[in-house]
Amino acid sequence: MKRADLQAIVASGFGDRGAARYVFVRARAGSTPEEVRAELAARALPHVVSIESNKPHAFAQLAFGPGGLRAIGLDDEELDTFPREFVQGMAHPERARVNGDRVDEWHLGRGGLDVLIAVFAGSDGAALALERAMLDGARHLERACEPLVASRLPDQTEHFGFRDGVSQPSILGVHGDPRGPERPVPTGEFVMGYENVYGQLPAAPSLSPARGVGLPESRVSPGRRDLGDGGAYLVLRKLEQDVFAWRAWLREASRPLAGYVADPEAYLGAKVVGRWASGAPLVTCPRADDPAHATKNDFDYDLDLSGLACPRGAHIRRTNPRGALPPSPPRSRAAVETRRLVRRGRPYGPPAGDAPDGEARGLVFVCLCANLARQFEFVQQTWVEGVKFDGGWSEDDPLVGARRAGADRFTIPRDPVRYAPRGLPRFVTARGGGYFFLPGMDRLRWLLGARG
Amino acid sequence: MVLPVDPPRVAELEAALAEVGVTVDDGARVFGDLSGLHFARLVVVPEGEDGRAWLALETNFDGELAPHLDELVARVVPRARAAFACCRGFSLDDPRGSLLAGRLPERAFYLGHQGLTVETIQNDREVKRALSDLLDDEIAGDPALLAEGADPRPVMRRLLERLARERPELRTGDLPRPLHDAGGFHARLWGIALFVVALVLAGAALHPSGAWIVVALLLAPVAALAVALGLAERRDAAEIRDQPIRHYTRDELDRLATIGLIEDGSPQNALTHLVTPKPGALRASLLRFVLWGVDQLGKYVYRYGSLGAIPTIHFARWVILDDGRLLFFSNYDGSWESYLGDFVDKANEGLTGVWSNTREFPPTKLLVFGGARQEERFKVWTRRNQLVTQVWYSAYPDLSVRNVHAAARLRELSVPTARRALAREWLGLL
């Protein structure tokens, strides 16, 4: 396995680098592909680190939307070797339909996003300095919009106050020891050029031999030159969180439970998320939070198929159902393994105080996969937005669902009578995003190199 | 039913169907008031290699053909007159005869909720809704119901009393549910097994090595078939392997764009899929044999749903057109990606068994292995051969197969009971 060929974000979210900026860049009008390539090669490429690099105080990762690939000289025939989802882009009506997005509510990427430079650094100042070093005075590149600046919240929490990012697949060959008892997921689920869960090489973009001079032969598209090896697809979504609506709903909707559970608001929040605020899963801690279980990921739903501990529609159960789905726990686990994502997101916006402050805040959701339709879009469409998920009637993800077509209910199974509040508000609103191709290091150098 | 269309009139036919519209509501304007109709669609089957095209009408209905035909003639034909008028030899004076002439037997048919009529399914849905609402109402009036560990029977009694009083039109308890009698199927299987054993015993009685000779004679044709198939598969695989996984043509991309804006509009979706079998008698007979097997499994083994562990298919059928092409209709729950994922992860052998006999299918081994497990190739192949479902109707577009089963169970259990466990299960369904 060529670890030095993978951009570092495949392996890590860089938790030790507190600052991150997501900078959206495009070519200036009139610049030629040669000029754009040369400038990216000179200004950005030296800061892009691989898994194996020693990471400096500030560094970058580089990814391209379809417009960015055109700007560096790929043609339509070559773009058509990328997945349809990628070429259409997240704002396309068909993708919006699949993902449950209302693009008219977006602030970011309605017209597509061309180039993403993600900057990570030990301090906000250093991140900004690197961004400016790359872009100030550039003649062929410009910022397409304001960068998204990540913020820091205590204890790896997100704005609603829950620990985030506990469950992450470990990737075969990338992560040394599998963390926890989950077996590592085959590399090809996240990186092109390696076998996926079906024991096959993922489809990958390619060029004709005449245009791809210097690239090796493609192993999945005979007679063509490979552009995919070491590369992944990166999904970025700006998800705005309405913390005050969330708190108000918890207060209101937990009222009928007063007297029947110890701490109604904490109980209701945990039922929605599937974990307590500390991160402790409901399956192992059904009655009360236990910080000793904060990062516990070694559990399954096979003894809780009815959802009495963790509701079937709870957020973490929808987004990773483990053994919960028919026809049986082992077959569920096998099917779920084909839908995994590695998440690399961070919160943005200031922490919420006690009173509404009019500030925008939320999550820069970032995930990686090798197959956008089978992994990211499936999870979003069928598990998060799917109103029939696991036998449901008309419910979407209670935490992040878009509440389409009357899906505004959440059922909490209890013995003997369930509690199923109606009229769930939308707590999370997608404000934009895009699909990007995150090339392997070799292919990135080739893409930005001087050539005929 | 399939009605022939002269290729020059296909565009006109498509326009006539487009006039109806692609949503379930549009479909309801054509099919909505037919009695006992579960699902229906009108699809243009484009011209094949020998130049024949059709208008396909799929209906899944309760009861007998004759009254259903009467309704098609009286209601559907007038409403889609412009479409039917495009069909060659379709007589608007004798639509019944024209429809009957176009009847095609299904080669394999599967139904995810055998024995439940539209009326029952819709009744059960209302029972579920009414009881859920009543329970919400009871909780609002008396939050103490939310206490855990209480006896489930009093609240169940109260809800059933209110249901009977407030919604007397809804039926509860057992309703007739005719299933295919699996007895004959099992008897045939036993018959074949006993016949084989008898042959072997007879052989043993006649000659010292007689049993082995009989076994060899029985296995010889199977072995010959496996060898012939293996050779054919090797030839087919060599052709496929040299093609890139992806790359749609412009036409295919245009069709996918149309399909993309139709699909996923409701919790249910329609798939219409058309492929050409590989040439030769071997493939033709294998295809018919596997379809027969799938049909038997659907009728007699998966009688309560979950064909090959896929819990999301309402109705599915395969038919073979007169020009040999294989047409597949499915009415399923959820997204295309989820349905195809189930094909790949949970039912790949059966589907590979059918489709391995058709052109450009991903390489297979021994008929049922490989094939659909080549996930990306299989999905691209399916997309490439998918047709636009121009007009589609569902009588219960808001119900998944699991909803139908859960509601039927709820209705069956909606009778007074002294058993705590049953009362608890019943409440759990709300």
Minimal CA separation from B109 to chain A, in Å: 22
CB contact (8 A) between residue B151 and residue A327: no
| Cβ pair A51, A438 in contact under 8 A | no
Residues A228 and A247 reside in one and the same domain:
no
Give yes or no: residues A214 and A276 share one domain. no
Q: Across the interface, do A97 and B260 touch by the CB < 8 Å criterion?
A: yes
Residue A277 lies in a domain: yes
Name the residue of chain B whose CA is nearest to A197's CA: B375
Q: Which region among A305-309, B58-62, B146-150, B356-360 has the lowest average model confidence (pLDDT)?
A: B356-360
Q: Show pLDDT as tens, one digit a residue, over chain A (452 residues).
A: 899 999 999 999 998 999 999 999 999 999 999 999 999 999 999 999 999 999 999 999 999 999 999 999 999 999 999 999 999 999 999 999 999 999 999 999 999 999 999 999 999 999 999 999 999 999 999 999 999 999 999 888 999 999 998 888 999 999 866 555 668 999 999 999 999 999 999 999 999 999 999 999 999 998 999 999 999 999 999 999 999 999 999 999 999 999 999 999 999 999 999 999 999 999 999 999 999 999 999 999 999 999 999 999 999 999 999 999 988 999 999 999 999 999 999 999 999 999 999 999 999 999 999 999 999 999 999 999 999 999 999 999 999 999 988 899 999 999 999 999 999 999 999 999 999 999 999 999 999 997 74
| A198 and A224 inside one domain | yes
Whether residue A24 is contained in a domain is answered as: yes
Residues of B in contact with A80 (CB under 8 A): 247-248
Q: Give B84 to chain A, closest Cα distance, Å.
A: 31
Q: Which residues of B touch A196 (CB under 8 A)?
A: 375
Residue B374 has pLDDT above 90, yes or no: no
Task: Indicate whether A357 belongs to any domain.
Answer: no
Q: Which residues of A are designated catalytic?
A: 177
Give A14-53 pLDDT, tens digit per residue: 989 999 999 999 999 999 999 999 999 999 999 999 999 9
A162 and A70 within one domain:
yes
Cβ atoms of residues A91 and A112 within 8 Å:
yes
For residues A209 and A182, state if they share a domain: yes
Nearest by CB to A97, which of B264, B333, B341? B264
Report the candidate in B114, B68, B179, B110 with the shortest Cα–Cα distance to residue B318.
Answer: B110
3-state secondary structure chain A: CCHHHCEHHHCCCCCCCCEEEEEEEEECCCCCHHHHHHHHHHHCHHHECECCCCCCCEEEEEEECHHHHHHCCCCHHHHCCCCHHHHHCCCCHHHHHHHCCCHHHCCECCCCCCEEEEEEECCHHHHHHHHHHHHCCCCCEEECCCCEEECCCHHHECCCCCECCCCCCCECCCCCCCCCCCCCECHHHCCCCCCCCCCCCCCCCEECCCCCCCCCECCCCCCCEECCCCCEEEEEEEEEECHHHHHHHHHHHCHHHECCECCHHHHHHHHHHCECCCCCECCCCCCCCCHHHCCCCCCCCCCCCCCCCCCCCCHHHHHCCCCCCCCCHHHHHHHHHHHCCEECCEEECCCCCCCCCCCCCEEEEEEEECCCHHHHHHHHHHHHCCCCHHHCCCCCCCCCCCCCCCCCCCCECCCCCCECCCCCCCCEEEEEEEEEEECCHHHHHHHHCCCC
Q: Are residues A186 and A266 in the same domain?
A: no
Averaged confidence pLDDT in chain B: 91
Could you tell me which CATH number the domain at B1-103 has? 3.30.70
* Cα A133 from chain centroid (whole Å): 27
A185 compared with B233, residue with greater pLDDT: A185
C-alpha pair distances (Å), B327 with each of A221, B8, B31, B43, B278: 29, 22, 22, 11, 14
pLDDT of residue A435: 98
A210 plus A318 within the same structural domain: no
Over 70: is that where the pLDDT of B105 sits? yes
**Hey, what amino acid is at A431?**
R
* Closest chain B CA to residue A260: B147
Comparing CB atoms, the residue among B148, B261, B400 nearest residue A414 is B148
Of B146, B253, B335, the CB nearest to A417: B146
How many domains are contained in chain A? 2
Cβ of B346 and A327 within 8 Å? Answer: yes
Same domain? For A222 and A279 the reply is no
**Which pLDDT does position A181 carry in this prediction?**
60
Say which of A221, A257, A334 has its CB closest to residue B345: A334
* A:B CB pairs within 8 Å: 146
Classify residue A139: in a domain, yes or no: yes
Site of tokens 């394999």: B108
Which residues of chain A does B337 touch, with a Cβ-Cβ cutoff of 8 Å?
373-374, 377-378, 381-382
Minimal C-alpha gap between B206 and chain A (Å): 49
Output the pLDDT for position B214: 87
Domain segments of chain B as ranges: 1-103, 118-176+400-428, 182-237
Cβ neighbours, 10 Å, residue A452:
6
Enumerate the residues of chain A whose CB falls inside 8 A of the CB of residue B242.
222-223
Asked if residue A389 and residue A439 are part of one domain, the reply reads no
| B150–A418 C-beta distance less than 8 A | no
Q: Can you give the pLDDT at residue B309?
A: 65
Contacts of A249 (CB under 8 A, 6+ apart): A424, A425, A427
From A87, which residue of chain B is nearest by alpha-carbon distance?
A: B253
Q: Mutate which of B127, B240, B345 to test chain A, going by most A C-beta atoms within 10 A? A: B345
- Cα distances from B204 to residues A259, B208, B213, B221, in angstroms, run 78, 6, 9, 21
Looking at the predicted structure, is the pLDDT value of residue B87 above 90? yes
Q: Domain range holding A137?
A: 3-237+434-448
Give residue B57's pLDDT. Answer: 96
Tokens (6 digits) for B25: 């509501």
* Cβ-nearest to B337 among A97, A382, A388: A382
How far is the C-alpha of B171 from the C-alpha of B414, rounded, in Å? 9
Cβ–Cβ below 8 Å for A98 and B152: no
Could you tell me if A173 and A247 lie in one domain? no
Locate the chain B residue with the closest alpha carbon to A78.
Answer: B247
| Degrees to nearest 5, angle at CA A339 with A441 and A24 | 45
Write out the two tokens for B248: 């749609």
Q: In terms of DSSP bridges, do strands A428-438 and A232-241 run parallel, antiparallel, or are they unpaired?
A: antiparallel
Contact assignment for B267 to A388 by CB distance below 8 Å: yes
Residues A415 and A280 both lie in one domain: yes
Shared-domain flag, residues A412 and A287: yes
ipTM over 0.90: yes
